[in-house]
Structure formats: C-alpha cells, structure tokens
Copies of this chain bind each other. A is one copy, B any other.
Amino acid sequence: MCRWIAYSGTPVLLSQVLFEPEHSLIDQSLHSRMGVETTNGDGFGIGWYPRDMAEPAVLRDVGPAWNDRNLQEVAHHTRSGLFFGHIRASTGTAVQQSNCHPFRSGRWLWMHNGVISDFRRLRRDLALAVDPALYARIEGSTDSEVMFFLALTFGLTDDPPGAVARMAGLVETTAEAHGVPHPLQMTVAVTDGESVWAFRYSSEGRSRSLFVSTRVDALRALHPDVSFLRGLSDETRLVVSEPLGDLPGAWNEVPESSYGVVRPGGGELRPFRPEYAEGPRG
C-alpha cells in the first residue's frame, strides 16, 4: 500500500537515488508496477543522516511526492551515506504529516509497507501494549507507527530482529484473540544510522515484494561501462519495494519470512519468524 527505499553506502546526493533512476521511487508515486495500489499519492517522507550527526533529519509532507518542490530541493542539495525514502498510499487513515514515514525515535528510523488487517479492532489492545513511557509520543493514527512503538517497547534499540519478531508475535496473538485471520502483512526497514535491517513477512506467507541490490563489485564486473557504479563502494546497497532501473543482475528478491542486514563490513540474510510471549503478555 506504500513503496519505500533504503540506501546505505557511499555518500551521494539523495536525488541520484530518489529521482534519477528509471522507475525511481518518485516515479513509483505515480506509477507503481508491483504494488496493490498503483498510485502512492497520500504523502511521503525522507529521513537522512547528515555527515557528522547521529540523529537523522526527517522531511515529511501530505501531498504527492511527484510534485513536491521542497522534496526536490532537499534531495538535490543534500548528500548522505544512509537514507530512507517512503511514499504513502493510505488504507483509510488520515492524510497527515504524523502518519507519514519514516518515523523517528532518537537516532532510529522506521518505515513500513503493508497493513495490519482490521486494525481498528486491534488498535486499542496493541496501543496498550506500548510501554507507558512511550505511549504519549504516538502522534498519528497508523498501524505502522504503533508497530514502531511496539518494537521500541520490545527492545528495538538493543536487538532489532528480536524486537520486530516480538512485535509481529504480539500482533498475531492479539488478532487471534479478536478472531482476525492473517493479520500481518509487512515489509519494514529500520536503522540506527549504521546498520539497516529489512524484514519481509506476512501471516499468510504471501508478503509484499522486497528486493536488495547486488554487491557493487559484482555489478561492476557485469557492467564495466556503467559509470555510476564506479563511484560507489563495494558495499553500497539499496533495499527497495520494487526494482529501480533495468540493469540485469542488479536485484535479488528477499525471500519470504526473512530479514536482511546491510552494514559496512558485510551484511547477512536470515530467516524471520514471529516470537510469541509465553507469559501473561498476549
């Protein structure tokens, strides 16, 4: 219901990734190919880490990304080695800045494509499971923001994969208690400014698409004539809802029920499954 992109690697102008590629994220805001909705015009957001800052900046607005001048200005004048971009297609919740991704807490960013089924019925129980000390910071009305606060509650800053697994488990047990089948459908990206974790999961096992780019050294060997690749470090990576451009060999689908980590010095790909509380929670 949304599309997103995460970039990690050699610092570049945001526009080189967000605007310039064929079938870029901004192009997907008008013409998505793989999404449930072909138009993602209900707001957008970018989050980026300036060179010497631990806390990221976030720019979000409620209009379509394709015609937003401030987005263009910032993207064409800002360099970063780690940034997120997100375009939104609302599934019913209000079109407001506080419902736009990425969400931020300290140096952490979070963005999501997907949906919690029948969220209106589950919203209260999920919100109650958020750490009371965090509850007051919820500003919007989306499932995505509640998922973020649940992950923070369950230890996101110490153990991202574990916290996301516990969040997913809670969503599923809560849904079961309410008789909501197949409640979770998600691709999530989260970062602390150094590593990026990207999750692909759905209760039904039919998750939204997610792709990770091939290592740049391998791509360069395949395409010695593509000048853009020459300026990038071997470890530069993109994780995206749907592929950009049409470079053969550039994109690898992230398997169902798995997550990847992208970080300097090497990433990894692992299976993902929700984690269910055995005790009183759930």
- Name A's interface SS: mixed
**Residues on the B chain within 8 Å of A121, using CB:** 136
A77 close to chain B: CB less than 8 A: yes
Least distance between A101 CB and chain B CB atoms (Å): 14
Least distance between A204 CB and chain B CB atoms (Å): 23
Alpha-carbon gap, A238 to B66, bound state (A) = 32
Asked whether A77 lies within 8 Å of B57 as measured between CB atoms, the reply is: yes
Least distance between A184 CB and chain B CB atoms (Å): 17
**Residues on the B chain within 8 Å of A16, using CB:** none
Interface 1/0s, chain A 42-67, versus B by CB < 8 A? 10000010100101111111111011
Q: Give 25 CB contacts A-B under 8 Å.
A: A30-B39, A39-B39, A41-B41, A42-B64, A48-B77, A50-B77, A53-B77, A55-B77, A56-B77, A57-B74, A58-B73, A60-B70, A61-B70, A63-B64, A67-B95, A69-B97, A70-B70, A74-B74, A94-B97, A96-B96, A120-B136, A121-B136, A127-B135, A138-B141, A139-B141
Asked whether A64 lies within 8 Å of B61 as measured between CB atoms, the reply is: no
Number of interface residues of A (CB under 8 A): 48
Asked whether B50 lies within 8 Å of A78 as measured between CB atoms, the reply is: yes
A214 close to chain B: CB less than 8 A: no
A132 close to chain B: CB less than 8 A: yes
Least distance between A161 CB and chain B CB atoms (Å): 28
A76 close to chain B: CB less than 8 A: yes
19 more CB-based (< 8 A) A-B contacts, given A41-B41, A94-B96: A39-B41, A50-B79, A55-B77, A57-B73, A57-B76, A60-B69, A61-B70, A69-B94, A78-B78, A94-B139, A96-B96, A98-B141, A119-B136, A120-B136, A124-B132, A124-B136, A127-B127, A127-B135, A140-B141
Number of copies: 4
Alpha-carbon gap, A222 to B41, bound state (A) = 40
Chain A contacts to B: CB under 8 angstroms:
30, 39, 41-42, 48, 50, 53, 55-64, 66-67, 69-70, 73-74, 76-79, 90, 93-98, 119-121, 123-124, 127-128, 132, 135-136, 138-141
**Residues on the B chain within 8 Å of A67, using CB:** 41-42, 90, 95
Alpha-carbon gap, A248 to B236, bound state (A) = 52
Residue of B nearest to A52 (CB): B79
Residue of B nearest to A51 (CB): B79
Alpha-carbon gap, A201 to B112, bound state (A) = 43
Alpha-carbon gap, A206 to B32, bound state (A) = 30
Asked whether B41 lies within 8 Å of A64 as measured between CB atoms, the reply is: yes
Asked whether A59 lies within 8 Å of B73 as measured between CB atoms, the reply is: yes
Alpha-carbon gap, A98 to B55, bound state (A) = 28
